[in-house]
Structure formats: structure tokens, C-alpha cells
């Protein structure tokens, strides 16, 4: 069975801290790993990672994939209260566009 596991499930930090969110996967026919941010509505796309070792960066957020060890991390530096959300990791498959999601990490940034 295809599986995507995120850790930690919940994280509370202070504004300005740096956080690292983890995602590991065990799937057949892996294509890409995606990160989404979900506030109280639909997930919004952050990154898609297809190749190992290439860091994707957008402002204070960055992410990298390790296809040998089957995991990805999402880093957020200098966190702000607006970063509070559930961060979802998902995997897509060769020949099919469906996504399998992890259970998410609920990140809370306190002022």
C-alpha cells in the first residue's frame, strides 16, 4: 500500500524561529513529491520536487528531495504568524495524476 508519512504532526514555535518539516514515502511508480500549505480552505501549492538533491526555494521557504532515502524536508526560516497552517506533503505517480497525501503537520507560530 502506498504510504506518505509526515512528522511532526504538530509543531509550535515562536516568531523568528526556523522550522523543518519532514515527509517520508513508500510508494510504487513515484513521479513527484509536492508540498501544499492549507489554511482554513483549499491547499495552496508550494513546491513540486522530481529530482534528488535540487533545492527549490521561494522566499523564506525551501525544500529538497532525497529519492534514495525516500524523504523530503520543507524548511521555513524567520517564521511569521502568517506561516501558521497545516503543511501537506503529497506524492504523484507515473501514468496517473492522483495524489496520495500525508496526514499533515500543523504548524503554529506564536508572536
Residue numbers at the binding site for other proteins (CB under 8 A): 4, 31-32, 34, 41-45, 48, 50, 88, 92, 95-104, 106
Shortest distance, position 78 Cβ to other proteins, whole Å: 25
| Residue 90 and residue 33 in contact, taking contact as beta carbons nearer than 8 Å | yes
> Would you give the end-to-end CA distance of the chain in angstroms?
41
CA 33 to mean position of chain CA atoms: 8
Strand pairing category for 10-14 and 105-110: parallel
Q: Which is nearer to other proteins, 94 or 111 (CB)?
A: 94
Shortest distance, position 103 Cβ to other proteins, whole Å: 5
Shortest distance, position 60 Cβ to other proteins, whole Å: 20
Amino acid at each position: 500500500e502506498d504510504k506518505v508519512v509526515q512528522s511532526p504532526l504538530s509543531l509550535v514555535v515562536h516568531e523568528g524561529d526556523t522550522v523543518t518539516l519532514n515527509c517520508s514515502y513508500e510508494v510504487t511508480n513515484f513521479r513527484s513529491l509536492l508540498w501544499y500549505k492549507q489554511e482554513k480552505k483549499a491547499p495552496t501549492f508550494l513546491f513540486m520536487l522530481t529530482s534528488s538533491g535540487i533545492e527549490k526555494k521561494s522566499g523564506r521557504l525551501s525544500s529538497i528531495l532525497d529519492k534514495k532515502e525516500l524523504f523530503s524536508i520543507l524548511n521555513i526560516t524567520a517564521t511569521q504568524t502568517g506561516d501558521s497552517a497545516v503543511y501537506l506533503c503529497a506524492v504523484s505517480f507515473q501514468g496517473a495524476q492522483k495524489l496520495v497525501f500525508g496526514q499533515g503537520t500543523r504548524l503554529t507560530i506564536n508572536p
